[in-house]
Amino acid sequence: MKFPATNLTHAACVSQSFRHPDLFGAKTLSLTAQPVTNFSIEIAQGGYPSHDARNVTNLGFCNVSLIYTHPGQRDSINVQVWLPLEGWNQRLQGAAGGGFLAGLNVPSMAGALSDGFAVVSTDAGHKVEDASTWALLSPGNVDLYALQNWASVSLNDAAVIGKSITKDFYGQKPIRSYWNGCSGGGRQGLVLAQRYPDAFDGILAAAPGINWNTALVGGLYFPLVIQLSGQGHIPNPCEIYALSLAAVAACDADDGVIDNIISDPAQCKFDPSTLVGQNVTCPGINATISQAAALGAAKTWDAVRTANGSFLMPGLNPGALLNVALNSTCDARTGKCQMVPFSYSEEFVRYWLIKRPEFDWTTLTWDDFYRLWDYSVDTYTDMTASNDPDLNDFRASGGKLITWHGLADPAVPTNTSRIYYSKVGQLDPSVSQYYRYFEAPGVSHCGGGNGPYPGHVFESLIAWVEEGKAPDMLQGISLPTANGTVYHRPICAYPQKATYKGSGDVTLAASWKCV
């Protein structure tokens, strides 16, 4: 959404133009301001979360970098505020992070800047994603202040700092403020809505890692299914990839359209065991689908469960690429393979649960896994999770919240978002007045995949906040297929689904309706 250019006078881009923000419990260590001109960057789809690819050129902005600490906690947090030198739209956007990085994602910040926003982002006290550099004070001792900063505290701090710096530069506060994030950045958005309901007027929390602490433990469940199966075989990545494609082929037509998209994964009843023994070919590799591969796929499409079969957390949807949850690497000479867990899961267990840098995940038993699950629930839910369904304070503040999640997400199970939204609705039947949830068939994690991508959802959020236009559907446009086909399709507010009308060009949105 483009706003009329605002030619406000602004202070010079020098440190003397800015006061130290009034941030309770914090002390500013340094503040610098540096003008930046002719800044250019190519941004891929989703690099600026929930936006299409774009080529940004010749931006000019004032980069204000503030370093502060919470006295007594021995932390040092860097916040950057990028202030457009021309055409400020009088709004502030918080640029999220992802994974173990809290923010300072240059493509995200540059994308927001190119739309006229003043932009704020934080590193939460650590500049690299590698957990070995900040998780532990020493073996056996977690740096809880660092984890707290990453999980929540630095997010509200950034909102306060961003608004203060923006006011000093332009002489007025932002008229609206927004948060934009996906994955870990989506988790951040939900944390802000739940814990800091006045921080932002509108929040886009896409594909959020809601139950961060349990989801990361759960990420070890799927490779352990194979590792501890007793099959004596670790599948080649080609086997897993072939089963991913086979699910799409089996269930693609369920919605009446052949487009390599599973519109309703819950209705997909594909049984991977039917392909055991089938030969498959991948680039440079020939493989045979094994019983172990079929078992791993079936369990990953099901759920993480207790030893007696009780539900713990959702699995992935059929249609999601299985090679994230069931990744393996193989010796080209011997052909012998070994499982490679989702990196964030392995790091979380290594540093925050086991607390030993030398930990080897392959030593885990099922008893170990369930003990780690319980320990993570007891120790880290309150600090890291964003699963509180009580959004009453956010509603009272007048805030608006949108979540969208790709149904082919291979990293964060889509059903975690569906479950959370349903819990909010159970607590407050008026949820749709301030929070709406959308599922995007065929879309991968924060973008990519075969399905139509909601690259204009942020515009819908702004229209809801500023004009009261609640979105009933989002506009989705896919990446071109190998033959150049592009699919346009509505992405419907849950629980509705896009349904083919039965006639018309399947690539056009007009041939579909929300039901």
Catalytic residues: 183, 409, 445
pLDDT digits 0-9 by tens, 31-88: 999 999 999 999 999 999 999 999 999 999 999 999 999 999 999 999 999 999 999 9
**Cα–Cα distance for residue pair 89/6, rounded to 1 Å:** 6
| Distant-in-sequence, close-in-space partners of 514: CB < 8 Å, separation ≥ 6 | 472, 473, 490, 492, 493, 496, 497, 498, 499
Q: 118, 96, 91: which is closest to 51 by C-alpha?
A: 96
Q: What dihedral do alpha carbons 445, 448, 451, 452 form, nearest 10°?
A: 100
pLDDT digits 0-9 by tens, 301-348: 999 999 999 999 999 999 999 999 999 999 988 889 999 999 999 999
Question: Residue for token digits 């080209």?
Answer: 332
Q: Residue by residue, what is the 3-state secondary structure of 399-427?
A: CEEEEEEECCCCCCCHHHHHHHHHHHHHH
Tell me whether strands 176-182 and 202-206 are parallel, antiparallel or unpaired.
parallel
What pLDDT does 3 receive? 61
What pLDDT does 7 receive? 56
| Distant-in-sequence, close-in-space partners of 420: CB < 8 Å, separation ≥ 6 | 190, 208, 210, 387, 389
pLDDT-derived band at 284 (thresholds 50, 70, 90) equals confident
pLDDT-derived band at 8 (thresholds 50, 70, 90) equals low
- The domain segmentation of the chain, as residue ranges, is 1-172, 175-210+386-483, 221-340
What pLDDT does 18 receive? 96
What pLDDT does 286 receive? 87
pLDDT digits 0-9 by tens, 10-32: 889 999 999 999 999 999 999 99
Q: 88, 83, 61, 84: which is closest to 2 by C-alpha?
A: 88
Q: CATH topology for 175-210+386-483?
A: Rossmann fold (3.40.50)
pLDDT-derived band at 491 (thresholds 50, 70, 90) equals very high
Phi/psi for 304 (5° steps) reads: -85, 125
CB 435 within 8 A of CB 256: no
* The two structure tokens encoding residue 54: 């774009």
For residue 214, give Cα distances in angstroms to 209, 304, 410. 10, 10, 17
pLDDT digits 0-9 by tens, 289-298: 999 999 999 9
- Which residue stretches of 428-501 are H helix? 457-467
pLDDT-derived band at 231 (thresholds 50, 70, 90) equals confident
What stretches of 70-155 adopt beta strand conformation (E)? Answer: 77-84, 91-95, 118-122, 136-138, 141-142
- Indicate if the pLDDT at residue 299 is higher than 80: yes
- Indicate if the pLDDT at residue 107 is higher than 90: yes
What pLDDT does 1 receive? 58
